[in-house]
Every structure is written in structure tokens, then in C-alpha cells.
Chains A and B, each alone.
Chain A
């Protein structure tokens, strides 16, 4: 802040300070102050990466206004800030995650994991034992009265109870305790009923409840005995080894997971960098590689076929109805463009209803004509065909519009010359129209290919990648493409989220997309135009 004030002063000395520049500087100070506050708060909460991003944003905004040479940055400071925060940073974050084991079981830091594991307890077969009696309220709350071998008695609430006092002495009149019998146990507790031996022995919940507080936890072991729980694992901070006090087994810290010699693992592990393991994994693990090969193959088939079908149908329409003599051209175009005017998610959901194998209109019609009812949702090849049909419906109007525009720009004298040379209509199409067209719409074809390559909405909203691939160890289906597979890995419940692994595939996918985009930019001469001195 001091620096700004200083430079403000120098500016003031050098030139006459106009009103507008005072306002500008006031705004910068205000914005910097606000962002600075957010940054400090972020730092204090331990969000270090985000703190760095915000610091960069503050520097960017400040220098763009204070250094005259960087005045062009003023025009894009806000845009670039949003871009850094929500485009660049997420990509870097994803790349970093690709080299970690971030995911279910590895979401927390090492200290948190050690603390969680050392908190785990077990019920020893020997050790301090108690006599016990249980009480139960109508809301299924329990109280446990216990008496140790020295004759000391107390009552414990469940460890997850919301009451402050988890353990209290047996005193008539306190905590609703009524008369006390000769053994020292309350005969009644207000709001609770005493469970007799038979009720207590048959109560399903009782043996699972931990009573008391973390320092002194008691669990029912048998109808006659309750016992104090003891810590299960002992942690040695020097070599990072956990020892199971019950079995004596040792667990070694291997890349964020404490693993025993026999392969058993402790839960939770912690989030740490594991190098190229995620990348190696999908090359070597059959359960992962299997679906990935299927998915990548289908991804390319899907994108290619989608492009081909939409382009072919769109071009066909453009050629047949491009004829200026054809009446009704305008209304036809307006009708045929309709699929394109509906937000794609809505059309996908409509098709999902229409293609419903049991109830949808398509199958009702097919069944009444051919007597068969194709199962679009559960048979892999049919599901893929259905997706291509839907995508053709979604995409052909685009190519109809684009190609009819491009066809008009082909000079007519070329056709006249060809006609003079005796070329037939088909020859003209294959030899002249198509090659010229491909040159002019080539870049758009690449763009469309990339778009379909990542057409998550269609795959996800139609049948969520299904039908499932049975051999896969992760959530994967026959119509899944890479991007929907990654999404499932990161978010699908059931088989656990695996951000690290999902990020590794994302990185590979990004490289693929980047290469395709670069090819597209080359074709479009975008790079050259960027450099052009217009």
C-alpha cells in the first residue's frame, strides 16, 4: 500500500492530477484493499495455492494501472483475473492432482490421518471389566450404568450424545435418577426404562454403542460384562509405522497408505504426491485398461461417425434444396433448422423419453410394424446407434446451414466449364463441389470433431454412459466417452471417487484435444492472423 501512495505522490508532483485519474487511483486502492483482505483471509485459513493466485491478481491489477508501459493490461485486467482464477488455476490444479493419490480414502493431510487412526479403538478380550445395566428411552436413547471391580459406579451416555456431561455419578435426584438399589444401580431414571437381562441381551443396538467420552470409552462385551476400549494402533513418528496393538501387525507408510506386509491397508490414508503411478496404472491394471480401451475406441468412432452423419445429411439437404428454383426453400429451411434451436440438453431428454424401450413412442411404432422392440438402453450396440441417431438429429442443421453458405461461394463458372467438358452431375459433385467445400469448411469440421469428441451432455444426459461394462472395476459403460468416464471417476458414488486417477486421464485428454486444436488453428490460419499487423 505504501508503495502505491508513494507513486501516487510522484505522479502528483510530476503532472497536474486530473479528477479522473484521482478516481482511478482511488478505485485501485479500494480494489486492492478488498482483494488484499480476501487474500489474507485465504492465507489464514491455509488455502495457500489460492492465496498465491489472488496475490498474482492483485499484482496484475496494480501494475497494469501504475506502469504506463503496461497500459494495455488495463483493458483486460478483470478478464485475465477471472481467466487465471477459473481457467488457468484449475488446469494447474488438475495437473498437480494427476500426480497425487487424491480421492476416497486419501482426502486428508498426513497429520489428520494419523490423528484419525490413533483414535481408533478396539475391545480387548481381557482388561478392565465392568458389571453393567442398560436403560433405554422412548427415543431409543441409551444410558449405561457400570460398576468396576473396586465397587466404583457411574453412568455413561453414548459417546455421540449431544449432552455435555457424558459420564456422571449415581446420585438420587440428579439427572433424573430415582431410588438406588443395594448394588448401587438406579431403580429408575426419569425418561428411561430399565432393560432387564433378557431385553438387554436381545437388544440389537446395545453391543454396538460406545459409551462415555474419548478418554474413557466403554462398550458392552457380553451379557455380564462391559469393558473399556483401548487404542488399537500405536504410531511411531520416527519411522511412520503403525503397530496394531491387538494383533501386533505392522503397517508401513507406502505413498500415503499404511500397508501391512500381507497387503492389508489402514483407512484413511493421506493425500500425497505419488509420481507417475496414476499414469502407469491405466497402462497396467486390466480392470482399468479394459474399459479405457473400449471407451477410447468408441470415443473416436462416435466423434467420427457423428461428424460424418451430420455433415453428410446437412450437405445432402444443402445440395438438393440449394437450387434457387426450388419453391418453398425458405419454409423448408425454417422447419429443418428446428432441432438446432432447442437447447441440446432438452432435446436429449426428449429423445430419451421417445426411445424408452418399454414405453417410448419409437418402440411402440416399431413394434406395431415389425413386431420387435429394440432395447436402446441395455444393449450396447443399440445404445450406440441410438446415440448416433440423436446426435445426427442435433447436428445436421448446423452443417446444412454451413454448407449451403459455402456452396454459394463456389464460383459458378467452374460448373459451366465442367458442363462444357461433359461432366455429369455426379462427377461435378465429387470432383468439384466436394473438394472445394472440404477446403473451405475443413477447420469447422475439425472444430465439430473436437466438440463431439467431448460431447459430455449427450452421453451423460441420454443414458449416463450405460449399459455398464461388466468387467470394469470402475464405473464405466459402453457408450461412455473419455470425458464422461473421467466425470464418473471423479464423482460417481458407489465405487469411490478417484480424483487423482481422473485427473491423470484428464491430462492425457487435454493433450489430445490440444493437438487437435493446434491442427485446427493451423488450418484456419488463426496463428497467422493473430500475428498479422492489421
Chain B
């Protein structure tokens, strides 16, 4: 191999490297356009006073907040009531899910009892049954409970939360138990020796150590509940009780092409809290996802 040959090879390598970088950037631009365009499009639609799908342009003329104003004032589309309903139901469901699963996971992690494995496996397997398939049953259970105890029946947020809690046990328990298993049992054993009860060990020692996994499960549970619409739609039939996802879905099944801008404004506001949570807590959520949690 002559010296000259070697330098030309080096040269071509830097050249191809440069070419590679350019190609990479080109591809990156294409990908970014693909991923960001729908979002830009919806932002533009929400600011476009024309409010029509057919005539919308990427950069709207006379951009303004008319669609948002319309969202506030429309009586048959009580958007902010729906948004509040969603936030309320999701928050309560999340808090209850966290307390139920943390306590159950503690039992699975720390106690040895007959049927422990069987129960855990059953819980995992049962969760793979989509509760959508049992929606007729969920509806009639809710109705029958409501006949006896109105506050937990159809057309109540408490009833909806109760149904959501039925699905709380599952992957969450698995994630939580897995995390608890990594906390050495010596900690609680020495506390037990000092005379602490199970409850004291759980609440004073274990619980504070669970903050990361509580955050992950909490966020995923919140996002999942927030995005759910089919059970909410089945159990809540009164307009003012509906959640924001049900509202948006119903909105688009009507003459939405004429009211595209208002829909866009609503979609944007509804998506914003979740987007912020995601972008701020990316790493934490990714950690949870790679352990098997599924986004709702």
C-alpha cells in the first residue's frame, strides 16, 4: 500500500463521513416534519379564525384567539366542564390506584402465604383481558349498583372511578412489587425487632423509598385514565358529566369539518397537560415503559 493511496483513502473517508452527516441531517429534517407537522397543523388551526378544515392554511391570516373564546362560550360544548371532569376523575383514580396497589404489592413482596404465586399470576393474566370486551357486563353492574345506591351507579363520577379501580390491580402491582423486592428485607426485619408493626414498617420505612416508582405508576395511571373514553362514554350519558376525551370524540363525529378550529383549540388544551408531564419526566416514564407498562 503506497503512501499516496492511503491519503486518498483517508480523504474519501472524511468525505463520506461528511456526506453521512448531511444525509443524517436531511433525514432528521424529514422525521421532524413527520412528527411535528400534525401538532403545528393543529396549533395553526386553533389560531385560524376561518375555523374550517377545507380552507385552513399553515400560517393563518388574521390569527387570533377566537376559537378559544368560542370554546369558553359554547353552551352545547361545555369544554371546560369536561376538562375539569377528566382531571377530577383521573386524579382520584390515580390516588386510589396508588394506595390500593402499593398496599397489595407490599403484601406480595413481604409476606409468604399460600396461594401467593397463584394469585399474582392470576392478577397478571386477568389484566390481559381488555375490559372493553366486558363492557356490557360493566354497564349492567353499574346500573344494578345504581338501583341500590344511586351515588355509585350510572351517570356518576364515583361509579366510573369504581369501574376504573377494578382494573387497578395488574401490571401496576407487578411493577410495584418488583421495585419493593429490590429494597433489602433486612431494613424491615431490624425494624420488626425493634417492635415496629407491619403498618409502621410500611408507612415509615418502605413508602418513602418508593417515590420513583410511585411517580411512574401515578403518571401512567393518570395518563391512561385521562385518555380512556369508551367506558366513560358508556357509563356517563349526561352531557355535563362527560370527560374531555368523550367530548372531543363526540365532537368529531358531528359536523366537525365546519368547526375544525374550535376542535383544534379544544384538542390542544386537552393535550397540553399530558404533553408537559411527558416532556418533563421523559426519563422516568421511559424507565417504567421498558419494564412493561403500556401507555393508554
Within 8 A of A (CB), among B78-95: none
Q: Check B31 against A342 for contact (C-beta < 8 Å).
A: no
B272: nearest chain-A partner, CB-CB: A342
B120 at the interface (CB under 8 A from A): yes
Q: With the chains together, A347 CA to B41 CA distance in Å?
A: 11
Q: Main SS of chain A's interface residues?
A: helix
Contact (A350, B169) CB under 8 Å given A38-B149, A94-B137, A340-B295: no
Interface size for A (C-beta < 8 A) is: 102
Q: Check B169 against A490 for contact (C-beta < 8 Å).
A: no
B134 at the interface (CB under 8 A from A): yes
A82 at the interface (CB under 8 A from B): yes
Q: Check B169 against A338 for contact (C-beta < 8 Å).
A: no
Distance in angstroms from A395 CB to nearest chain B CB is: 10
Q: With the chains together, A533 CA to B145 CA distance in Å?
A: 41
B32 at the interface (CB under 8 A from A): yes
Distance in angstroms from A500 CB to nearest chain B CB is: 10
B13 at the interface (CB under 8 A from A): no
Partner of B53, one of A94, A356, A457, A518: A356
Contact (A83, B123) CB under 8 Å given A90-B131, A341-B279, A359-B54: yes
Distance in angstroms from A119 CB to nearest chain B CB is: 25
B158 at the interface (CB under 8 A from A): no
When distances are taken between beta carbons in the complex, the residues of chain B under 8 Å from A82 are 100, 162, 165-166, 168-169
Partner of A335, one of B32, B127, B129, B229: B32
A23 at the interface (CB under 8 A from B): no
Q: Check B56 against A361 for contact (C-beta < 8 Å).
A: yes
When distances are taken between beta carbons in the complex, the residues of chain B under 8 Å from A342 are 39, 271, 274-275
Q: With the chains together, A506 CA to B167 CA distance in Å?
A: 18
Distance in angstroms from A156 CB to nearest chain B CB is: 36
Partner of B279, one of A334, A406, A460, A514: A334
Q: With the chains together, A503 CA to B135 CA distance in Å?
A: 10
Q: With the chains together, A56 CA to B286 CA distance in Å?
A: 39
B107: nearest chain-A partner, CB-CB: A75
Q: Check A90 against B138 for contact (C-beta < 8 Å).
A: yes
Q: With the chains together, A346 CA to B251 CA distance in Å?
A: 12
Q: Check B248 against A345 for contact (C-beta < 8 Å).
A: yes
When distances are taken between beta carbons in the complex, the residues of chain B under 8 Å from A320 are 24, 27
Q: Check A343 against B226 for contact (C-beta < 8 Å).
A: yes
Contact (A345, B54) CB under 8 Å given A45-B144, A75-B107, A83-B123: no
Partner of A337, one of B169, B279, B296: B279
Digitize A345-387: 1 where CB-to-B-CB distance is under 8 Å, 0 elsewhere. 1110111111010111100000000000000000000000000
When distances are taken between beta carbons in the complex, the residues of chain A under 8 Å from B148 are 38, 41-42, 45
B214 at the interface (CB under 8 A from A): no
B208 at the interface (CB under 8 A from A): no
Contact (A337, B278) CB under 8 Å given A447-B294, A454-B130: yes
Interface 9-mer from A160-168, A169-177, A521-529: A521-529
A439 at the interface (CB under 8 A from B): no
B11 at the interface (CB under 8 A from A): no
Partner of B274, one of A97, A343, A349, A393: A343
Partner of B260, one of A47, A336, A343, A353: A353
B229: nearest chain-A partner, CB-CB: A345
Distance in angstroms from B189 CB to nearest chain A CB is: 14
A93 at the interface (CB under 8 A from B): yes
Q: With the chains together, A40 CA to B87 CA distance in Å?
A: 35
Q: With the chains together, A395 CA to B25 CA distance in Å?
A: 22
Digitize A76-119: 1 where CB-to-B-CB distance is under 8 Å, 0 elsewhere. 10111011011111110110010000000000000000000000
B143: nearest chain-A partner, CB-CB: A47
Partner of A350, one of B27, B38, B229, B249: B38
A349: nearest chain-B partner, CB-CB: B252
Within 8 A of A (CB), among B208-255: 223, 226-227, 229-230, 245, 248-249, 252
B187 at the interface (CB under 8 A from A): no
* Contacts beyond the supplied A91-B134, A342-B274, A517-B125: 5 A-B pairs with Cβ under 8 Å: A82-B162, A87-B129, A321-B24, A349-B252, A483-B132
Q: Residues on B close to A: CB < 8 A? A: 24, 27-28, 31-32, 34-36, 38-39, 41-42, 52-54, 56, 100-101, 103-104, 106-109, 111-113, 116-117, 120-121, 123-138, 140-141, 144-145, 147-149, 162-163, 165-169, 174, 178, 181, 185, 198, 223, 226-227, 229-230, 245, 248-249, 252, 256-257, 260, 263-264, 267, 270-271, 274-275, 278-279, 282, 286, 289-290, 292, 294-296
Question: What are 22 of the A-B contact pairs (CB < 8 Å)?
Answer: A71-B198, A79-B104, A83-B168, A86-B166, A94-B133, A321-B28, A334-B282, A343-B227, A344-B227, A346-B271, A350-B42, A354-B41, A397-B35, A401-B290, A405-B290, A450-B128, A483-B132, A483-B133, A490-B136, A514-B125, A529-B178, A531-B117
Q: Residues on A close to B: CB < 8 A? A: 38, 41-42, 45, 47, 50, 70-76, 78-80, 82-83, 85-91, 93-94, 97, 317, 320-321, 326, 328, 332, 334-347, 349-354, 356, 358-361, 393, 397-398, 401-402, 405-406, 443-444, 447, 450-451, 454, 456-457, 460-461, 483, 486-487, 490-491, 499, 502-503, 506, 509-510, 513-514, 516-518, 521, 524, 526-527, 529-534
